[in-house]
Structure 1
Amino acid sequence: MMTISQSKRALLSITILGFILCFSSLSGAQTSKIEEGFDYRILPIAQPVESKGKVEVIEFFWYGCPHCYDFEPELSAWVKRQPKDVVFRRVPVAFRDDFMPHSQLFYALEAMGKGDAMNEKVMYAMHKDNKRLMTENEIADWVASQGIDRNTFLATYRSFAVVSKARAARQLADTYRIDGVPTIVMQGRYVTSPSIAGTKAKTITVMDYLEQKIRKDKFK
């Protein structure tokens, strides 16, 4: 049997619990708030998108970037759950001339139809197996170790199309004013990243927010 004193203590406990839950909900609402200038920024000049009537998402990245490697699981999971009106592509960034082989590696694998299967393996090799992959020979040897014909890969890697795409990617990064990676650009104008939003999880939340905003604005 509950006494009056016990009833008062129980009522007080319930009241305190209510305040805690209310405060927690309020705090959660505050932390989930997404603001321009804090969680994402808008490019001063919007860039044209390749697919009309779609949500275009570009990840600017570099194979050798530890932050890109760290963000990859969350980003890949996000991409996998997107509907058909979301178009995602990666653009390799070479901030220095000696990083250009990595951009060529990316486009060579893409040209051979092996990009999706190999990109994570490249990053694992660099960040877990300590493979530098900075020269053509290092890259070709590693690619061959993955069961890809070395000569076929080298012919693709050296091709005019692949070299041109690597150079164009560098110019595109300049156009988008990319000064760090990973960086996400949506619809040619909205820019976010873990360094801008603060965390990987918040970046994904911002991407979801921007995706809905782009649809609401009729893909503008």
Structure 2
Amino acid sequence: MQRRHATLALLAIGTTAAALPNGARAQNGPREGTEYRRLSKPVPVEVGPGQVEVLEFFSYSCIHCYRFEPLMKTWMQRLPKEIVVRRVHVGFNAAFEPLQRLFYALEAMGKLEALHLKAFQAIHDERRRFNALEPIADWVAAQGVDRAAFVQTYQSFGVSGKVKRAVQLQDAYEVDATPSLGIDGRFIVPGQAERTLSIADALIARARQA
């Protein structure tokens, strides 16, 4: 999802995005400037020595993120423990906030693993509109989660802080489309299906060597 089309995407739940041809490959590793970008200013990471931080910038409203999710999940399962992956729900404008709060509330309640994919399915397959607390809370309650506890978490100071931090990270990483992967506080990789992950592998290897 391109950032400049974000509002339309939230209204229509669908976007257009360019992808590299399936055969596009760099002969000597990923190509800076075309397959990934080096950040103009490094971003502080939240991992310890010997670890590499990877941030997945996504939105529940992004159809490309939904399609990318199975690939991302499989990739995460094969990563060594030194690679720390965190999802960051973008907030390109105010209309994204209900979805951000859904994500971070589920995360805070320990329900994310069970409901992350289901949230994508509700929006893109069932055509639900998660644009306010009430429809979101109704859906969460239908999944067996205590509604009152969810509403309290959704509106909490902790979730508000997570939403604010997500916007800070997306701006620091110069994110202009989803899905994108931020690598080691230094690189941003636009989502290009399987190729995205091979580029990420190469940049992670570079970070570990450094």
TM-score over 0.5 for the alignment? yes
SS of equivalent to 1:163: helix
Report how far residue 28 of structure 1 moved. Answer: 9.5
SS of alignment partner, residue 192 of structure 1 = strand
Matched, 1:35 2:31: yes
Contact 2:54 2:85 in 1 (8 A): yes
Q: CA-atom RMSD, angstroms? A: 1.7
1:202 corresponds to which of 180, 184, 195: 195
Q: For the residues of structure 1 that align with 2:95 and 2:56, how far apart are their CA atoms?
A: 21
Rounded to whole Å, the distance in 1 between the matches of 2:41 and 2:95 is 30
- Residues 111 and 31 of structure 1: CA distance in aligned 2, closer, same or farther (over 3 Å): same
Q: What residue ranges of structure 2 are gaps of 5+ in the alignment?
A: 1-22
Q: How does 1:72-87 map to 2 (within 5 A)?
A: 72-87=69-84
How high is the TM-score relative to the length of structure 1?
A: 0.80
2:57–2:179 CA contact under 8 A, matched in 1: yes
SS in 2 for 1:90: strand
CA distances 1:185-214 after superposition (whole Å, capped 9, x unpaired): 0101111022xxxx3121111011111111
Which structure's CA Rg is the greater one?
Answer: 1
Letter in 2 for 1:89: R
- Are residues 135 and 58 of structure 1, via their aligned partners in 2, closer, same or farther at CA, if it must alter by over 3 Å? same
Q: After superposition, what is the alpha-carbon deviation per residue over 1:100-133, rounded to whole angstroms, capped at 9, x for unaligned? A: 0111111110110111221111011111111111
Shift of 1:58: 0.1
CA distance in 2, matches of 1:207, 1:128: 29
Q: For 1:104-143, what aligned pairs fall within 5 Å after superposition?
A: 104-143=101-140
Listed as ranges, the gaps of 5+ residues in structure 1 are 1-26
For residues 30-109 of structure 1, the aligned pairs below 5 Å read 33-52=29-48, 53-109=50-106
Task: Among all aligned residue pairs of Structure 1 and Structure 2, give the percentage whose two residues are the same amino acid.
Answer: 43
2:196 aligned partner, one-letter code: T
Higher helix share: 1
Structure 2 letter corresponding to 1:44: S
- The secondary structure found in structure 2 opposite 1:213 is helix
Distance 1:143 1:216, change over 3 A: same
Moved more, 28-37 or 205-214: 28-37
| Separation of aligned partners in 2, 1:134 and 1:109 | 16
